[in-house]
Amino acid sequence: MSPGQGTFDASTLRELVRDDRVHRRVYTDPDVFALEMDRLWGYAWIYVGHESQVPKPGAFLTTTLGAQPVIMVRDHDERIHVLHNRCAHKGAKVATAPCGQTSVLRCPYHGWSYNLDGSLNTVPHSVGFEGTGFNPDSTAFHLSPVARVARYEGFVFAQLHDSGVTLEAFLGDTRRTIDNVLDRSPTGKVSIAGPCLPYLHDCNWKMFVENLNDAVHPMVAHASVGAACREYMEVHKPDAPPTEAEIIFPFGSSYEFFDKMGVTALPHGHSYMGGKSSIHSSYPDIPGYYDSLVDRHGEEKTKEVLSQNRHNTTVYPSFTLKDAIQALRIVRPISVDRTLIETYHLQLDGAPEALLHRTITYSRLINSPASMVGPDDWDCYTRIQEGLGSHGTDWVYLGRHLGRDQVDGEATTALGTSDLSARNQFRAWLQYMTAHAADGYGP
Amino acid sequence: MDPDDVEAFLERECELLDSGDFAGWVDLCTDDAVYWMPVSSDQTDPLGEISILYENRTLMELRKFNFGHPLAPSFEVPVRCSHLLGRVDVLERRPDEVKAKVKFHCLMWYRREQRMFAGHSTYQLVPNGKSFRLRFKRVDLLNADDWHKSIPIYL
């Protein structure tokens, strides 16, 4: 626990999160951030990677779970481990490359090496440890595994502490988004295609996550791209809008359009927009693709699969997936005002290349740090981070359509422009933050 | 056509970017022009793998309308850049196309931060009278795979 965290008892934390507003400290206070890393990122299931990124024994990738550096590695029995990236000896990270292939995980400092399951392989010149507290069989001298690792359809998640909730229960209805991506593959298989696209943000991680299902901002923050598309059409008068404009233009859609899409909030802070109609529902078909899905599913189910369009399914706090686009983004908090977003792309096995090309084009046009969309979001997040330093007022207001939600079992739905998803995130946030970490309790 | 012509063209091309004349820059391009900024230096497939930028003439035209737009929060503050080009290496010279490569340093000033970009650019130029038109520019950043913040302009 870092200095200052002790000042956050449950009642103080409850003061920061009200039904319709949150205190600016949740975004700006480094002590709140440190506590989030312990209690929220320490207990939620956090996305680590896709199994296709470690395709064979010895393949590994490095990432972070909250503030914790970890290695995801496949061993010779095809088991996938998530290990703390910290040599049991003096603490050096044993791997620093984003990904690689190895026979053992070897620390470059004194040469301690570890097997792919994290157990100790060899320690050079170990004679000096004889008769000391050193014990090669003790897990204290292994790369320690994180508390739990589980896979859902190839998507690997891990928990730093065991919260008692299974991954399937945690994912809940968001599994239908992952299922839909697999259903869109003519063989039922998907894999990560190519490198990721990193984008460093000068803001608290929650601003990015809240924005995923914020349907009020596009018409304002992305107004210029809508205007640019209209201007293009007027000047060039093409017979039909070019693909590029079709991708960008919906980001300037009307409030009514987004209201109709709707937003659905789920337990554990998860949510998604749309379902049947989203900003991705009017993309043209790619020749041959529909037929290959009919071969697998039959006509009726194929139509059902292609009609599901959930915009930005958010698995709180670390992962967001677009089923119709097959792009996923990972949230990696660095500090209270710095967040790395990594975008990955899924290739649908057996589908025409053109489908992957569309996924990539979409992502480049929307998620790239050099796109015409991402930098406007980036700018707004940065302004918020800077503005919340102001003592003008302490509160961030999240009250749009408060009290007008519709409850349907575990799901709560509202008009798309409702602040429901942000309120739902903070409900989960407060549950994680006020739970006693020492008791292993999570929401 | 001699190397000086190529160098003069590349200097002019970068000067248009440096002076914020994006429309003027697009005017240098052929209708089938492509601007590519890969996310890794060994990238060969711009369609099946993500890039920082891979833009055709349509996107350039859209970007022309978006560039500096008063409704774009990202353009409320100015973004300025300054290129410094190294020696121009003419890789191939055909009557209908010239391929060239040049090292560059480019400083970008944006949101009170001066950021350093460096690397090399590869060009395909189409002879046009005494000068050229730009058909292809690939910008390989030294730190292509770095954690970049917003890059609201072409480099």
Complex ipTM, two decimals?
0.97
pLDDT at B3: 65
- The model's confidence at residue A250, banded by pLDDT at 50, 70 and 90, is confident
Rounded distance between C-alpha atoms, residue A100 and residue A420, angstroms: 41
Q: Is residue B34 part of a domain?
A: yes
Assigned fold of A46-152: Rieske Iron-sulfur Protein (2.102.10)
pLDDT tens sequence across A354-382: 999 999 999 999 999 999 999 999 999 99
Please give the pLDDT value at position A280: 55
Residue A334 DSSP SS3: strand
Residues 185-214 of chain A whose Cβ lies under 8 A from any Cβ of chain B: 193-202
Q: Per-residue confidence at A253, pLDDT binned at 50, 70, 90? A: confident
Rounded distance between C-alpha atoms, residue A363 and residue A371, angstroms = 9
The pLDDT > 70 percentage for chain A reads 94
Residue B19 lies in a domain: yes
The CATH number of the domain holding residue B118 is 3.10.450.50
Torsion of CA B35, A382, A48, A409, to 10 degrees: -120
- Flag whether B102 is in a domain: yes
CB contact under 8 A, A229 and B71: no
Report the alpha-carbon distance of residue B105 to residue B83 in Å, rounded: 6
Q: Of the candidates B47, B76, B151, which has its C-beta nearest A370's C-beta?
A: B151
Residue B152 lies in a domain: no
Whether B148 is covered by a domain: the verdict is no
pLDDT at A286: 86
What is the reported pLDDT for A428? 98
Region B15-43: mean pLDDT is 97
- Residue B150 within a domain: no
The per-residue pLDDT for A248 is: 85
Average pLDDT score over residue span A135-162: 97
The string of pLDDT tens digits covering residues A223-248 is 999 999 999 999 999 999 898 888 88
Q: Which residues contact B128 (CB under 8 A, 6 or more apart)?
A: none
Cα separation, B80 vs A202, in Å, equals 20
**Hey, of A368, A373, A381, A383, which one would you mutate to test binding to chain B, going by the most B CBs within 10 A of its CB?**
A368
Would an 8 Å CB–CB cutoff place B27 in contact with chain A?
no
C-alpha distance across the termini of chain A, in Å: 21
Per-residue confidence (pLDDT) for residue A439, from 0 to 100: 46
The confidence score (pLDDT) of residue A284 equals 54
How many folded domains does chain B comprise?
1
Residue A380 is nearest to which of B54, B73, B152, comparing CB atoms?
B73
Q: How confident is the model over A298-323, as pLDDT tens digits?
A: 999 999 999 888 989 999 999 999 99
pLDDT band (50, 70, 90) for residue A249: confident
Domain that holds residue B35: 3-42+49-141
Q: Measured between alpha carbons, how far is A105 from A69 in angstroms, rounded to an integer?
A: 15
Structural domain contains residue B80: yes
Q: What is the mean pLDDT of chain B?
A: 96
List chain A residues with CB under 8 Å of B49: 193-195, 360
Spell out which residues of chain B touch residue A360, defining contact as CB-CB under 8 Å.
47-50
Residue A438 has pLDDT above 60, yes or no: no
Sign of torsion over alpha carbons A85, A91, A94, A99: positive
Who wins on pLDDT, A10 or A440? A10
Chosen for mutation from A200, A376, A378, A383 (greatest number of chain B CBs closer than 10 Å) is A376
Of residues B71 and B1, more confidence is placed in B71
B133 inside domain: yes
Set of chain A residues whose Cβ sits within 8 Å of the Cβ of B42: none
Confidence category of residue A387, pLDDT binned at 50, 70, 90: very high
CA trace torsion A290, A293, A298, A301 (10° rounding) = -90
Domain edges within chain A? 46-152, 172-434
Pairing of strands B79-94, B97-110: antiparallel
Nearest to B37 among A198, A370, A382 (CB): A370
Residue among A200, A201, A204, A199 at smallest CA distance from A389: A204
Lowest mean pLDDT among A49-58, A293-302, A335-344: A293-302
* B50 with A383: Cβ contact below 8 A: no
Contact A348, A356 (CB under 8 A): yes
CB A78 within 8 A of CB A142: no
Q: Which of A227-236, A269-278, A432-441, B18-27 has the lowest mean pLDDT?
A: A432-441
Chain B CB contacts of A232 below 8 Å: 58, 61-62, 65
Q: What percent of chain B has pLDDT over 90?
A: 96
| Confidence at A442, pLDDT banded by 50, 70, 90 | very low
Instruction: Summarize the confidence of residues A422-426 as an average pLDDT.
Output: 98
Mean pLDDT of A57-81: 97
Q: What is the mean pLDDT of residues A19-44?
A: 97
Please provide the average confidence, as pLDDT, over all residues in chain A: 93
Residue A7 has pLDDT above 90, yes or no: no
Nearest partner of A413 among A216, A272, A317, A318, judged by Cα: A272
Minimal C-alpha gap between A178 and chain B (Å): 21
Distances (CA, A) of A312 to A151, A210, A419: 20, 11, 15
Non-local (6+) Cβ contacts of B154 within 8 A are B17, B22, B25, B35, B53, B139
Mean pLDDT throughout A326-346?
A: 98
Q: What is the mean pLDDT of residues B43-52?
A: 97
Residue A282 has pLDDT above 60, yes or no: no
Write down the pTM of the prediction: 0.95
At A85 the pLDDT is 98
pLDDT of residue A3: 46
Q: What are phi and psi of A67, to 5 degrees?
A: -95, 0
In angstroms, the Cα distances linking A356 to A97, A155, A204 are: 26, 19, 31
Give B 59-118 residues with CB within 8 A of chain A.
59, 61-63, 65-66, 69-76, 111
Q: Which CATH superfamily, name and number, covers A172-434? A: Naphthalene 1,2-dioxygenase Alpha Subunit; Chain A, domain 1 (3.90.380.10)
CB proximity list for A28: less than 8 A, separation 6 or greater: A204, A336, A337, A385, A388, A389
Does a cis peptide bond (omega within 30 degrees of 0) precede residue A218? no
CB-CB under 8 Å, A379 with B61:
no
Contact B66 A368 (CB under 8 A): no
Strand segments (E) across A68-183: 68-74, 80-84, 99-101, 105-106, 113-114, 120-122, 148-152, 155-159
- Looking at residue A277, its pLDDT comes to 56
